[in-house]
Amino acid sequence: MQKKSASRGNFDITNKNDIATLSQALIDVEQKFPIVFDFLETFCGYNTPVMSSDPYEITYAGGKRDVILTIKTIMRPDIKPEHIAGYYKNL
């Protein structure tokens, strides 16, 4: 018997409505549970540059930082969801 995948939905980063819904959900989490964003900012190195000469460590740290930067970009009230969706459509 084959196990079904545990899909949570069909989020589409090129869909402005999905981006708007995600943005509001992230804002709600930040307001209700600030510890979540404190953790993400710390773990992802939002305010801390990587101090290493190892290219693999630099790449890994950069990838983690990209996560929090993308989340914060999606949450910005001055950037419209259609602009974010359009950016990802053109990649």
pLDDT of residue 81: 97
pLDDT of residue 9: 75
pLDDT exceeds cutoff 60 at 84: yes
pLDDT in tens, 38-75: 999 999 999 988 889 999 999 999 999 999 999 999 99
Going by pLDDT thresholds of 50, 70 and 90, the confidence category of residue 6 is very low
pLDDT exceeds cutoff 90 at 20: yes
CA dist 69 to 5, 7, 40, 46, Å?
Answer: 29, 25, 10, 7
pLDDT of residue 8: 64
pLDDT of residue 21: 97
Please report the DSSP string for 41-59 in residue order. Answer: HHHTTSS-------HHHHH
d(CA 89, CA 79): 16
Do residues 61 and 10 touch, judged by C-beta distance below 8 A? Answer: no
Q: How buried is residue 51: exposed, middle or buried, by Cβ count under 10 Å (0-12/13-18/19+)?
A: exposed
- Report the sign of the C-alpha dihedral through residues 3, 13, 65, 76, in that order: negative
